Copies of this chain bind each other. A is one copy, B any other.
Amino acid sequence: MVVVMCREADEAQIAKVIERLTEQGFDVHRSTGVERTVLGAVGGKIVDHRSYELLEGVAEVVRITQPFKLSHRSFKPEETTIIVPSNSRNGSGLVIGRKEVMIMAGPCSVENREQVLTIAGKVRAAGARVLRGGAFKPRTSPYSFQGLGEEGLRYLREAADANKMLVISEVMDQTQIPMMLDYVDILQVGARNMQNYTLLKQLGQVRKPVMLKRGMAATIEEWLLSAEYIMTGGNHEVILCERGIRTFENLTRNTLDLLAVPVVHSLSHLPIVVDPSHGTGRRDKVIPMARAALAAGADGLMLEVHHDPDHALSDGAQSLFPEQFTTLMGELRRMAPVIGRVVY
């Protein structure tokens, strides 16, 4: 922390700030300039810097350490690689965070057995290795379809096994975790639950990867701190997922913040994937944004695909037709090598 004193601050005021900093365990270095005095405070515990701002004679207080630890690159300089081992169900397993770009695809909501089986077959044929599908749906309105629950997870698992795929699905509450572990390979935390700390703490106890979506108004720093809640519990297999943030622009559902991809790569060793389906909200915008996400360096993509989007129970408008998905996969496959990545 750095405390910048006002030009007109007197010695007594400076002394009081130094005393308080020392009391809180800081090592204080004083720089007396011609115009003003600056106090550098190193070490010490986590304090609310605003409490120093309110002291007399203080002009400004600047935090100099980022509050995250486990998720930060200075804690672990090399990239986190998450390995889902191969087994009889998923074929060859999966490695997340290396050269391969992980492609997750499937319907927004699981609607029935046939729907999931149909879509799983199609997205697997086009190259997707992870099947997505919502069984518990956090809907803004209580009057919208809320998901099939465990029944939906059963269909997902069956469809994934039939196609040697992995399953990812959203968990909405800590009470759902034990049951979900029987069905899914990756647990997803939705944007609205990014700061549901009770849920995050419980996911720290789990030994499966967790994909943490960015909250609609979460700064990158808050997002990493939420990852930190999972990691402090002992689960270091966290995948971040950018899905669009809320801005003043209202022609689009969200503003997809692709710049978050290289920013996260600088700050953290965790892999980051992009969801252009929620990030754009419209099928015709998903394709260019999926390409752009790959070009920006994303470690994976999550895409909604539906064979009959006109009758989808949720988000049909942002679901790709299977043929569009196949074409897109071809484009991604050709673009990836330019930046040293690969799409299978």
| Residues on A facing B (Cβ under 8 Å) | 2, 4, 6-8, 20, 27, 29-31, 33-36, 38, 40, 42-43, 46, 48, 50-51, 53-54, 59-60, 62, 64-69, 74, 138-144, 172-175, 192-193, 195-199, 201, 215-217, 219-222, 225, 228-229, 232, 245-252, 255-263, 266-267, 279-285, 288-289, 291-297, 309-310, 314-318, 331, 334-335, 338-339
A20: chain B residues within 8 A (beta carbon): 310
B216 touches A217 (CB 8 A): yes
B252 touches A2 (CB 8 A): no
A285 touches B256 (CB 8 A): no
Additional pairs, 12, CB under 8 Å, beyond known A2-B38, A67-B143: A27-B31, A34-B42, A140-B195, A142-B232, A172-B197, A196-B196, A219-B251, A256-B259, A258-B258, A258-B292, A288-B295, A331-B339
B27 touches A33 (CB 8 A): yes
Nearest B residue to A297 via CB reads: B288
CA distance A318 to B262 in the complex (A): 14
CA distance A223 to B247 in the complex (A): 16
Q: Choose one: B220, B285, B314; the contact of A249 (CB below 8 Å).
A: B220
Nearest B residue to A285 via CB reads: B262
A50: chain B residues within 8 A (beta carbon): 281-282, 317-318
B33 touches A42 (CB 8 A): yes
User: What's the minimum C-beta distance from A205 to chain B, rounded to whole angstroms?
Assistant: 14
CA distance A197 to B221 in the complex (A): 25
Residue of A27, A217, A283 with highest tally of chain B CB at under 10 A: A217
User: What's the minimum C-beta distance from A315 to chain B, rounded to whole angstroms?
Assistant: 7
